[in-house]
Amino acid sequence: KPRAGLENEDGGVAETLNEKDLHGLRIYLQREEVALRAEAKQTLNHELIDLIEACKNLVEKTVAQESFSAALKAGVVKQVREQLRACYRLGVRLESWLITYQPPLSAGGNVGVSAEVQEGIYQNVHTMTVGSSDALHRMLAFEREHA
């Protein structure tokens, strides 16, 4: 029997306390999912491509340096560090999005992509994240060793 005072939006009495409590949460999650999907499109279609182009340009600058000291003086080391941080942050965001909001069909998700394909996509993103983090750590160790 429904408890008194628990009315839903239609003016009827909610069947359980949980139904009323979860209604607001469901609306919030739906809004967040729509915003997240829009953000993911922005990330994939613009940020990722911009980051790739910036890294390509930075490779040319880096290769042109004669030594680490020259690269440090020219500001190339700082630029490399900034791009590695950007790659790491983007990788973390993409990993979070893939894990949290795109469950495979085998796990009850509604994405029409097989678990194997999703796992492959995740592994590529994870490799970018780990590689960026590792490069930052190696760079810091090199700088400390040759400071």
Q: How far is Cα 105 from Cα 112, in angstroms, rounded to an integer? A: 7
Q: Which residues neighbour 3 within 8 Å (Cβ) at sequence distance 6 or greater? A: 17
* 37 in Cβ contact with 73 (< 8 Å): no
Q: How far is Cα 95 from Cα 87, in angstroms, rounded to an integer? A: 12
Q: How far is Cα 29 from Cα 96, in angstroms, rounded to an integer? A: 16
* 104 in Cβ contact with 118 (< 8 Å): yes
Note the pLDDT tens digit of each residue in 109-133.
Answer: 555 667 777 788 889 999 999 999 9
Note the pLDDT tens digit of each residue in 15-56.
Answer: 555 666 777 878 887 887 777 777 777 777 788 889 889 989
Note the pLDDT tens digit of each residue in 66-88.
Answer: 988 888 899 998 999 999 999 99
pTM beyond 0.75: the answer is: no
Q: How many CA atoms lie within 13 A of 2 on its CB side?
A: 13
